[in-house]
Structure 1
Amino acid sequence: MTKDNLSPQELKERGNEEFKKENWSGALEYYTNALKLTTIDDSEKAVFLKNRAAVYLKQKDYENTIIDCDEALKLSPNDPKALFRRCQALESLKRYEEAYRDARHIINIDPTNKPVKTILSRLFEIVQERHKYNSQTSAKVQKMFEVAFDINVDKDKRETAMNNLLVLSRETAGAEIMFKAGVIGKILQILKIEKTNELVILSGIRIIAELCKDNADRTESIIHEIGIPWFLEIINSNNEDRVTAAQYCMQTVLNSYSGMNNKPDTKPNKELAEKYKKEIDTLLSCLVFCTTNRTITGLARDAIIELIMRNVHYQYLDWAERLVEIRGLQRLMEVASELEEYKYESAMNITSSTRTVTSVCLARIYENMYYDAAKEKFTSAIDEYIKDKLLDPEIEAKVRVTVAITTLLLGPLDVGNAIIARDGILQMILVMATSDDILQQKVACECIIAAASKKDKATTIISQGIKILKKLYQSNDDAIKVRALVGLCKLGSSGGSDATIKPFADGATLKLAEACRRFLINPKKDKDMRKWSIEGLSYLTFDAEVKEKLIEDQSAITAMIELAKSGDKSVLYGVVTTLVNLCNAYDKQEIIPEMIELAKFAKHHIPEEHELDDQDFVSKRLILLANAGVTTALVALSKTDSQNSKELIARVFNAICSQQEVRGICVQQGGAKALLPLALDGTEKGKKQASQALARIGITINPEVAFPGQRIMEVIRPLLNLCSPDCSALENFEALMALCNLAGVSDTVRKHILKEGGFTKIESYMYEDHLMLQRAATQVMNNMMMNEEVVQFYEGDNDRVKYLVILAEDEDKETSLAAAGALAMLTSVSKKACWKIFDSKNWLESIHYLLANPDSDVQHRGVVIVSNMIQSTKEVAAKLIETDVMEILMALIKSDTVKNPKIKQIAASALEAAAKWQLISKQADIDPPIIDTSTTNPLENME
């Protein structure tokens, strides 16, 4: 009979069978199917719901446990099992008062239930303690209110009180008490008075953020009280800390409305996002209209554009297409065209990072135009802006258009290339480059540099613009000269890393690099000059000779790192690309020897790598960069929102971490902390690179040192992401090695590995036909065996113990050691596992292999396994006695070749255990034991 033909009652019985086998997913499927076939709300449906709730409870899916129990209690209001399971789920979610309510309800129904009495007693203590704590917290809040919001109190005391309120707001009880006590109104009032006290202002903003966090209802009340314009007013500051706090506060509001959090892999909750769609759209509209507000600071403008960019890719928010509809693209292009040189009343305040942030935002929006019609709307909006500007006869309009096109070329490249390919656009730019106006020369030169982004485009620029660039390089104005230099550098690097392609004459590339170096290290040049010089080097360092010249120049490397540490987003591309080139961290196409011969025969060009790019030279460069402090630069740059830049940064990190001797430096300078978000958010390649870097750190350095505190939990997911068929064998292996070290730290870490689905992934590699992967996976499982849940997996109705027995006699010593170690731990805590060893046909050969092994460590594990088996049950011991194992143990005790005294000691204890069972002198045929699967608590049984 197929699953489809079973009745609801039969499906329930099948579910019960799977539950007993601890096959939670199978049991869940059967109960769910039974519920689908049940149309009447009766006691039978309540049973299905209770049973499914039990499965959810085992899977630690507490929210669904509560939902099913709620439904069951609607049908059977006083059902003790539904109440008990809901009580357990509520306690796990730390909703202690509600759990206590359910426990009391059960006791009222069944006063003699001892297990529930124990739970009730425990919950009573917790609830009483929480009530006491809440009372104390309420008193603290009241005391802080009296100090913080009284303008007559000493300034220092008010600042301390506000900070204390911030600490209290991070606690659930404190936040609720403060909100009910009207803290929002008091903050608004004090901020109107304390207009210059940044400490009080920062604390006030942060308190509001904490009160909004993860609470949509409270957020709605707060927004109703203060209004979105308040956020836009408070973010309008030149104080970076205030702008950051206000930006975080607005993101928290959006998160609460959409069900997100600040973790990189967060996603909106569809139902919640739809419920608060109006509020979310209002927030977007306000942000978009503020982008071109002439009265806000440059820092505020950057923060607002970053907020749009960070949330534009979420499907349920649907901001990307909404931006096009409300003419947000035209506003962003207006920002993109802004120049610091144009200073008048209606000019926008911008920073050196504004155009970079805007280009990344435009790129992110375009990436989320998932279908052709949406992309056409995007391009049409950009076209409309360009045409409107070009209708203005003033030269300023042409300058602004050129600047906007440059921004596009640095963001959504395809759109920028399409615009520059339009009739007359490139010609206009080239004419501006030849004018006598310094500003026109500057913006035209920047646009030419950005336009030469692809080889086919660079060909056009070479033919039409190289003479212009050479002429501009002769300029007396350093700003023009350095830009022309970068243009020449970019065109000179069109051959990439192929040593056979030389666009310029021999020696010209090194001369260009030397010119860039002089701009970079000259302390008299401003940051803008140094920024452009490093961009020039980012193109020239495709050349291996330039790499070697640069890496030996300590002053140039130091200047580059210091420039990166400034945090200026406009230097990001130049620094990171230069580092990628120095580290050879770019993708390399695998060249198959047969294909080379075929290419020679067909007279095709064959790329050649320079001898200075051999691994020895690359390793030397990596070590020099690490010792120079490149990690500090990468940490500063990693705060970018550009996905492509994150990938480049991750590549450099991974290349540095490939050198074992400098991994410690990387950790000391904050590399591990910066890598975690890179491993969870970015391009697929970028996440892999960052995850591999974390794995390499986790292999070499004590995980508790490399990933202190909560970080040790956060690193688990990136490592497990590398345990995928899509990753290379090296990535798999390094991830497993790092997981092995993590699994040895504590049971809390092991539980988190299981929670992230690590058991199945790790176990799959134990079956790999790859020695190193199989060995590493077995070593991880050896450490995981210290977890109770893993032991239960091995006790289940499966062949896992049998496979460990097979691996224990593997010819690879390390695999054998790991498998035998896992068996030793497993048999020490599980009598069932001791009996399951006999499931293997070759169990005796495996035990012989371990006990007679010349390696002391392997032999030690073998003796422990045998001793555990003999001490487990009389039945297991009897089956061993039927063989020659006793004789081998006796021989080990007497042997002079066994040097490890522990082996002899354990062998002797095994014989003593056999004697206690009275089996050494007399053996009998014993039936296999009957495993008692009953439970002491009737409320946990299935129905």
Structure 2
Amino acid sequence: MGEMADPIQFKDEGNKHFQAGEVDKAIECYTKAIKLCTDKKVLAVVYRNRSACFLKKESYTNAASDASKAIDVDAADVKALFRRCQALEKLGKLDMAFKDVQRCSTIEPKNKTFLETLRRLGAEIQAKLKTSFSTDSRVQNMFDILLDEEMDKDKKEMAANNLVVLAREEAGAERIFQNNGVPLLLDLLETGKVEMVLAAIRTFAGMCTGHKARAMAIIHLVGIDKLCSIMAVDNEDIALATCDLFQCINDSLTGGDRRIYGKEEALVLDASKDLKSILMALLEMVASKKVSGHGRDQALNLLTRNVPRKDKKDPDHSKSLFTIDHGLKKILKVCGQIPDLPDQLPMTENTQLIASVLLDKLWDDLRCDPERDNYREVCDEYIKGKFDPNDMDRNIHAINALSGLLQGPFEVGNQLVGRQGIMEMMVALCGSEREVDQMVAVEALIHSSTKMSRASFIITNGVSLLKDIYKKTKNDKIKIRALVGLCKLGSAGGDDYSMRQFAEGSTEKLAKQCRKWLCNSAMDTRTRKWAIEGLAYLTQDADVKDDFVEDDPAMKAMFDLAKSKDKTILYAVACTLVNCTNSYEKKDIMPELVQLAKFSKQHVPEQHPKDKKDFIQKRVKRMLKGGVISALTVMVKADNLLLTDQTKEMLARVFLALADDPKDRGTICAHGGGKALIPLALEGSAIGKVRAAHALAKIAAVSNPEIAFPGERIYEVVRPLVSLLHPERDGVQNYEALLSLTNLAGLNDKLRVKILKEKALPEIEQYMFEDHDHIRQAATECMCNLVTCKEVRGHPSFLRTLSSHTVCVCDKLVTQCNINIVCVFQVQDRYLEDGNDRLKLLVLMCVEDNEKLQRAAAGGLAMLTAAQKKLCTKMTLVTLQWMEILQRLILHDQPQIQHRGLVIVYNMLNSDDNELAKKLMESEILEILTVIGKAMDNPKRQIVIDVARTCLVKAMDLGLIKPFTTPS
């Protein structure tokens, strides 16, 4: 006690000094006490007292620190909490002070000082937030900074970028517009500084988004020509930002306006003239020499996105007809450019292929033969007009334009190639002395030999010429194109082993040379791209596929190129991957039809020995090891029109082939494959979306969905999975979709609600009646997870334990209680409805031979009867064998099934139906419960024993049985 006397004496002396107003002496005494004190409780009091002293001296940081030390010992120390609140308030940390006084008022709810401080701090925080975050003040602050000529560059750039953020909010966009922000943004455009120009363009985009009136005003204030001149500059970021601005304007003017105008509707002008002006301006940009390659790309992108109809049911395709009449020749001019010649239009590596995509979209948007005839005539007229016997540059321009058509609307290009003299001219140009002529002609031959008839012509007339070019030319660019031409002709028979065009071993030699060039990093990307083009053709041969996947450097080189900025490579890479994984569409041929074809001496395609399943699996393993997933994820992210629906479909097929083996699905998830599949499943062709959804189902069925699809992405997975439940999908797709939905439904409330919102419940219910055992089991397991009831207060712990045994396909038990009430009742109400056999089916499934199905059905029934007491009585009416079924469940040798059966018994006893409870206790169920309840404690079966005992206690509470007493 002697040791403790000194600190306590110092504490008491400090208290006297404090009461006397001698704050400095009090602090000195408290400090000495702190150094000597070892009792935590006394130490907390001393710290709290010294905190009060520091408050008096306005040393708020020290006051807050001492109060915190006191709170560390006792979290409910009201005095320390309030003193820290006072200190934090003075330090300007109102939010932290508010939390402290909130805790004080919780501990002492009647303390008027605490309540008054709480109200005052709350009002101050609100006022501060209103001042700090009011749109007017923020916009004005940004304007002040930008208009201040003495402000440094970094602050001005930050202010300009802040305006971009403000413009993305409706209130901010309106305030910028009303405060004469447009002239200020125009001044930023005139600075010529990239950061300032980007900020101004992005701010305009935010202001135009979803607001028709503002979009029209900005068009007239800024000017379409001005915007086009900005997009034309040789800067990729500026061109892309301006393209986004044009897209926002187009969306707003064509109906993307989120605002409801009411009476103001009459004041909004007709936007058709502005839209037409924008279209004309973009068409002018397509063939203008003043436009940079990046600007031309974005102009073509805008035309591709906005001219063809998005929905073919829309009768209005006037924009496409207008574009064909006023811009088709300009697009063909872009296709015909040869970068190696002087006086050509500035272009990027993607420009000509984007132009081909636009040509294809315009062709697809036509509705009748006269319109298509007009399209052909324009193309024919343009190409004919370029042929000139005295000007070789004009001739190769025409041939290159024809290549653009062959890469786009192939039907048009193929028809033009068939014109007399065109093919012969291509072959003749291959023998020209000029290397540029040879390069253009070889490319045209490659594109035109897609049809078997054309390939046959070239095999007959051009193979020797291509071989000569390949052997004699010293220009690698021409050599590799000649090689690709030979590759394409060599693969004209597809994967038909009996239709090889060249001698045995020739295709392997061609492929070896392609791999060699592919690995040559000294070559430019555009030239190496052709090596992949060659492999895309040659990998239809199984020997070539095997050699390619065994060549790690070649595979890595292709994956690296797939990640490059040159997006013209996407299609060739996708084709190669599809070939290597054999994921192309192949219909099953009936053996009887094969025999019939042979008997009638018809050609029957032969499968290569290395195209059998075991070889395919080996190739898939090698590709996964080589990093194919990381390449695919980058390809999917390509925000470019060159990632066409056809390319997306091929990528989806590759993903599906890679996910075939459950052991590989973890690797796919680890490298981001799950996330990459989501956009493929939501956008693209119908077949592509189904393939991607199936791959998602395979991954979600055996993986932890929270890891495979992190964050909010997990909710995007639901819709594609539900689409696989459609009756038109095959059984495997139905089954794996049900497994994956079961996994998702076992995770949380939001996912269950999402599944129900996607209208999956009727489909799942339908599959519970399916004849196929596996599908029926999967549907029942899924339904079991969907009917999980919320935790009910007062229910014993075994019910909470039951809800923790939610079915999970990846063999992990997922604890989930407190399910969203909407989700609960939407599912449960279907079982309460009369006139259906839903409940009867669930009861009868409890005695199926399939234990997994039995467990799922019993679990669903247990959770339904816990949530809806009426179902306990209804269960006895749907089948006469209900008692026998119940007895079989509670006598089952599997503890999980036995557990579920006992929970059903408890729910019946707890159902407020005394007659039902009495019937149960008069049956053999009482004897079974007694035997189970009297069993010795056993960790492996403890849950079962506890539930049985709880049932007996409930029966005693109801007065149905009496406790056993030993006679005296």
TM-score by length of 1: 0.78
The alignment partner of 2:950 has SS state of helix
Specify the SS of the correspondent of 2:858: helix
Q: Is the 8 A contact 1:449 1:490 kept in 2?
A: yes
CA–CA distance in structure 1, aligned partners of residues 548 and 528 of structure 2: 15
- Is 1:790 aligned to 2:827, yes or no? yes
Residues 324 and 375, structure 2, Cα contact 8 Å, conserved in 1: no
Among residues 855, 864, 869, which one is paired with 1:817 in the alignment?
855
Distance in 2 of aligned mates of 1:373 and 1:362: 17
Aligned to 1:636: 634
Query: Does structure 2 conserve the Cα–Cα contact (< 8 Å) formed by 1:162 and 1:204?
Result: yes
Correspondence for 2:756: 754
**SS of residue paired to 2:523:** coil
Q: Which residue of 2 aligns with 1:241?
A: 237
Instruction: Please show how residues 154-165 of structure 1 align to structure 2 within 5 Å.
Output: 154-165=152-163
* 1:299-448 aligned within 5 A: 299-311=294-306, 312-315=308-311, 316=314, 318=317, 321-324=320-323, 326-344=325-343, 347-390=344-387, 394-448=391-445
2:943 is equivalent to residue 902 of structure 1: yes
- Establish whether residue 800 from structure 1 lines up as the match of residue 874 from structure 2: no
CA distance in 2, matches of 1:468, 1:890: 94
| Counterpart AA for 2:930 | M
Residues of 1 paired with 2:760 and 2:422: CA distance? Answer: 55
- 3-state SS in 2 of match to 1:327: helix
Aligned counterparts of 1:687 and 1:418: Cα–Cα separation in 2: 32
Residue in 2 that maps onto 1:256? 252
Q: Does 1:464 align with 2:461?
A: yes
Q: 2: CA distance between counterparts of 1:218 and 1:814? A: 61
Residues 641 and 564 of structure 1: CA distance in aligned 2, closer, same or farther (over 3 Å): closer
Aligned counterparts of 2:572 and 2:763: Cα–Cα separation in 1: 39
More displaced 10-residue stretch of structure 1: 660-669 or 422-431 = 660-669
CA separation of 1:801/1:280 partners in 2, compared to 1, >3 Å: closer, same or farther?
farther
**Is the contact made by 2:536 and 2:573 (CA closer than 8 Å) also made in structure 1?**
yes
Residue 201 of structure 1 and its aligned partner are, at CA, apart by 2.7
Write out aligned runs for 1:279-678 (5 A): 279-311=274-306, 312-315=308-311, 316=314, 318=317, 321-324=320-323, 326-344=325-343, 347-390=344-387, 394-474=391-471, 475-638=473-636, 639=638, 640-678=642-680
**1:797-845: CA deviation from partner (whole Å, max 9, x where unpaired):** 4443332223233222112222222222222222233333234214334
Change (3 A) 1:820 1:248: farther
The more displaced of 208-217 and 761-770 is 208-217
3-state DSSP of counterpart to 1:859: helix
| Cα displacement string for residues 207-249 of structure 1 (whole angstroms, at most 9, x for unaligned residues) | 3223333333443343343333343233223332222222222
Specify whether residues 519 and 595 from structure 1 end up closer, same or farther in structure 2 by C-alpha distance, changes over 3 A only.
same
| Displacement of 1:919 | 4.1
Distance change (3 Å), C-alpha of 1:818 and 1:688: same
Name the residue aligned to 1:72: none
Q: Which moved more, 1:515-524 or 1:309-318?
A: 309-318
The CA deviation at 1:349 is 0.8
Distance 1:191 1:478, change over 3 A: same
Shift in CA distance, 752/254, structure 1 to aligned 2, threshold 3 Å: farther
Of the structure 1 ranges 821-830 and 528-537, higher mean CA displacement relative to structure 2 is found in 821-830
Letter in 2 for 1:812: N
**Distance in 1 separating the partners of 2:182 and 2:296:** 26
- For 1:448 and 1:648, how far apart are their aligned partners in 2? 25
Tell me which amino acid in the other structure corresponds to 2:906: S
In the alignment, structure 1 residue 166 sits paired with structure 2 residue 164: yes
Amino acid paired to 1:836: K
Matched, 1:139 2:137: yes
Residue 421 of structure 1 and its aligned partner are, at CA, apart by 0.9
Q: Is the alpha carbon distance of 1:382 and 1:301 closer, same or farther for their aligned partners in structure 2, counting shifts above 3 Å?
A: same
Of the structure 1 ranges 350-359 and 587-596, higher mean CA displacement relative to structure 2 is found in 587-596
Structure 1 gaps of 5+ residues are 1-124, 263-270, 923-943
Deviations 1:376-400 (A, max 9, x none): 3322222232233236852222111
1:886: which partner in 2? 926
With over 3 angstroms needed to count, the CA separation of the structure-2 counterparts of 1:816 and 1:666, relative to structure 1, is same
Q: What is the root-mean-square deviation in Å for CA atoms of aligned residues?
A: 2.9
Letter in 2 for 1:333: L
Measured after TM superposition, the shift of residue 871 of structure 1 is: 1.3
1:925-940 mapped onto 2 (5 Å cutoff) = none
Larger RCO, structure (CA 8 Å, separation 6 or more): 1
Q: CA deviation at 1:921?
A: 7.6
Counterpart CA distance in 1 for 2:827 and 2:269 is 41
Asked if structure 2 preserves the Cα contact closer than 8 Å seen for 1:360 and 1:641, the reply is no
1:443 is displaced (CA, Å) by 0.8
Map Cα deviations across residues 63-84 of structure 1 (whole Å, 9 max, x no partner). Answer: xxxxxxxxxxxxxxxxxxxxxx
| Structure 1 counterpart of 2:917 | 877
How far did residue 702 of structure 1 move?
2.0
> CA–CA distance in 1 between the matches of 2:127 and 2:575?
57
Give the 5 Å matches for 1:112-191.
Answer: 132=130, 136-191=134-189
Q: Shift of the alpha carbon at 1:449?
A: 0.6
Q: Which residue of the other structure, out of 210, 224, 230, is the alignment partner of 1:228?
A: 224
Aligned CA distance change for structure 1 residues 254 and 710 (closer, same or farther; 3 Å):
farther
2:958 match: 917
Deviation at 1:554, TM superposition (A): 1.1
Distance between the aligned counterparts of 2:831 and 2:945, measured in 1?
A: 29
Q: Distance in 2 between matches of 1:862 and 1:452?
A: 69
1:846-885 correspondence to structure 2 within 5 Å: 846-875=885-914, 877-878=917-918, 880-881=920-921, 883-885=923-925
CA distance in 2 between counterparts of 1:134 and 1:572 reads 48
What is the deviation of 1:487? 0.8
Higher mean C-alpha displacement, 523-532 vs 182-191 = 182-191
Q: How does 1:701-740 map to 2 (within 5 A)?
A: 701-740=703-742
Aligned in 2, Cα 1:600/1:320: closer, same or farther, shift over 3 Å? farther
The answer on whether the counterparts of 2:495 and 2:540 sit within 8 Å (CA) in structure 1 is yes
Give a deviation string over 1:652-711, Cα, whole Å, max 9, x none: 222222233443443344333332222122222211122122222222332222222231
Partner of 1:200: 196
Distance 1:675 1:533 in 2: 27
Aligned counterparts of 2:942 and 2:377: Cα–Cα separation in 1: 83
Identity across the alignment (%): 38
Q: Taking structure 1 as reference, are residues 188 and 585 closer, same or farther at Cα in structure 2, changes over 3 Å only?
A: same
Partner of 2:871: 833
5+ long unaligned stretches in structure 2: 1-122, 259-265, 789-822, 964-968
Change (3 A) 1:613 1:202: same
Task: Count residues with an aligned counterpart.
Answer: 784
Paired with 1:133 and 1:360, the residues of 2 have a C-alpha distance of 51
Aligned counterparts of 2:844 and 2:179: Cα–Cα separation in 1: 66
Q: How far is 1:491 from its partner? A: 0.8
The counterpart of 2:206, out of the listed 194, 210, 220, is 210
Q: Which position in structure 2 is the counterpart of 1:937?
A: none
| Counterpart-to-counterpart distance in 2, 1:524 and 1:663 | 36
Structure 1 distance, partners of 2:492, 2:269, is 49
- Deviation at residue 133 of structure 1 after TM alignment: 8.4
C-alpha change, 1:738 and 1:348, in structure 2 (3 Å) is same
Deviation at 1:508, TM superposition (A): 0.9
Kept in 1: contact 2:648–2:680 (CA 8 A): yes
TM-score, normalising length from structure 2? 0.76
